């Protein structure tokens, strides 16, 4: 209302019923002030500090609440600066854009709405949803529960409580990871943890629920890793734990099958425990573990290519009680504390059977082993008893087709054969075999 004196005089004409002019002027003036004192309708402020967190096939938007806002318009563009299209209306932060496609960069703004209308847009923020999950950590402690994402920054602890996407690939790029744990997840294509991806500080990998790794698990060159606990893992394409000098135990009690099983150069590793492992389609490599005392492969039946358990300088026990066949080489040489080798189910080896340099190895039992012409059987530098030498020779004689196999047997000066002499050596030499004993 216009409170100019002249305008007031015009307005006063409608108050002629009031007896005195001065009273009319005062009343009009007071009425004018009352009308003008009403608060005008104001649009809400623009939301500040809009943030976008990329997730697995989604983006999550967050912003501080705007005073007086009753709802918010969510707007999205495919190029920075817009134009923006309103994709939804929400009552409060956060907002999840589940229509976002993996690998696409989306640009967002948010505007607040009240009874007077829509306010100005917020700052712009953007995010690229992930599909195949590559995890590059963002904070000192991350609890990852929604299935995927991509982050940057430093990480001490990674907890994947419910990573359910079957396309998930876990790898850490250039960050100081200390602990990795997976809970509630049964299947992952790959786990990759090694020095070049920032695992110099990794001390623990724990996953009691993980049952399969379809591409492979690699824990490689993690110098302070002490705990690798995958108690439910049953299937792994590749299981690799190499050059992890602080690892004391490789414990895989549920693992049943693998393409490759590697552990070497783990200088403090005391035990390898894979009691349920029945088949390895390519190789078993467990060598150069200077502290290893026990390797438990009690259920292992077949190795498709090579089975190497050599140069483990403190290994006293190798349990291969179910082993039936090895496709190529079975080598356990230079394991100077191994005293007994018992393979009660072993029927055949494709090529080399080699345990030379096991200076305390005295007893070898191969009751159903059938040597082949392609075999080279080497126990030179061992301490075989005469009974063990004759046992191996008898297994060779039992195969009349054996004619060209090279068999080297040396009892070793520390425990020369006693009692009966060497049996049937001449028979094998006459067939064309090369037999060497002391």
3-state secondary structure of 324: coil
Given a contact cutoff of 8 angstroms between Cβ atoms, the answer to whether 110 and 125 are in contact is no
Given a contact cutoff of 8 angstroms between Cβ atoms, the answer to whether 51 and 63 are in contact is yes
- What's the pTM value of the predicted model, to 2 decimals? 0.59
| Per-residue pLDDT, 7 | 56
| Per-residue pLDDT, 382 | 86
Cα–Cα distance, 203 to 26 (Å, whole number): 85
| Per-residue pLDDT, 9 | 56
Series of mean pLDDT values for 10-residue runs along the chain (438 residues): 54 54 60 60 92 82 93 95 92 89 87 94 88 35 38 41 39 48 51 56 68 67 75 75 79 87 84 92 89 92 94 91 95 91 94 90 92 86 83 85 72 45 69 73
User: Regarding beta strands 325-326 and 348-349, do their DSSP bridges make them parallel or antiparallel, or are they unpaired?
Assistant: parallel
| Per-residue pLDDT, 398 | 85
| Per-residue pLDDT, 30 | 57
| Per-residue pLDDT, 65 | 93
What are the phi and psi torsion angles at 35 (to 5°)? -65, -45
Cα distances from 258 to residues 52, 213, 228, 277, 354, in angstroms, run 40, 10, 17, 8, 24
For residue 20, the number of C-alpha atoms closer than 13 Å in the C-beta half-sphere is 4
| Per-residue pLDDT, 70 | 93
| Max Cα-Cα span within the chain | 150
């Amino acid at each position: 209302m216009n409170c100019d004196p002249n305008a007031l005089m015009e307005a006063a004409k409608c108050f002629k019923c009031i007896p005195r002019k001065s009273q009319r002027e005062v009343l009009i003036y007071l009425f004018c002030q009352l009308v003008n004192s009403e608060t005008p309708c104001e649009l809400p402020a623009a939301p500040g500090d809009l943030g976008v967190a990329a997730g697995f096939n989604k983006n999550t938007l967050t912003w501080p609440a705007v005073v007086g806002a009753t709802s918010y318009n969510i707007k999205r563009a495919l190029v920075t600066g817009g134009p923006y299209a309103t994709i939804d209306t929400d009552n409060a932060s956060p907002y999840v854009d589940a229509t976002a496609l993996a690998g696409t960069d989306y640009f967002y703004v948010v505007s607040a709405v009240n009874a007077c209308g829509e306010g100005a847009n917020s700052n712009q923020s953007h995010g690229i949803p992930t599909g195949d999950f590559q995890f590059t950590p963002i904070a000192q402690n991350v609890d990852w529960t929604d299935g995927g994402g991509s982050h940057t920054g430093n990480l001490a602890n990674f907890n994947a409580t419910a990573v359910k996407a079957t396309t998930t690939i876990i790898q850490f790029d250039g960050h100081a990871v200390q602990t990795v744990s997976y809970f509630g997840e049964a299947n992952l294509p790959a786990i990759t943890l090694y020095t070049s991806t920032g695992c110099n500080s990794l001390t623990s990998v724990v996953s009691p629920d993980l049952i399969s790794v379809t591409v492979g698990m690699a824990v490689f060159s993690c110098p302070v890793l002490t705990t690798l606990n995958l108690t439910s893992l049953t299937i792994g394409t590749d299981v690799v734990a190499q050059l992890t000098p602080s690892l004391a135990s490789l414990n895989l009690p549920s693992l049943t099958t693998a393409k490759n099983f590697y552990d070497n150069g783990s200088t403090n590793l005391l035990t390898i425990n894979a009691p349920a492992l029945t088949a390895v389609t390519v190789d078993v490599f467990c060598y150069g573990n200077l502290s290893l005392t026990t390797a438990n492969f009690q259920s292992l039946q077949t190795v498709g290519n090579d089975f190497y358990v050599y140069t483990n300088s403190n290994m006293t026990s190798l349990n291969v009680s179910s082993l039936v066949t090895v496709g190529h080489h079975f080598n356990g040489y230079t394991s100077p504390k191994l005293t007994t080798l018992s393979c009660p189910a072993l029927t055949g080896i494709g090529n080399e059977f080699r345990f030379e340099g096991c200076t305390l190895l005295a007893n070898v039992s191969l009751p159903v082993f059938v040597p082949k012409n392609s075999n080279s059987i080497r126990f030179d530098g061992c301490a075989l008893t005469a009974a063990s030498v004759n046992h191996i020779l008898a297994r060779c004689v039992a195969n009349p087709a054996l004619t060209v196999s090279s068999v080297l047997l040396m009892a070793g000066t520390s425990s020369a054969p006693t009692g009966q002499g060497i049996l049937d050596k001449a028979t094998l030499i006459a067939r064309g075999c090369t037999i060497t004993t002391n």
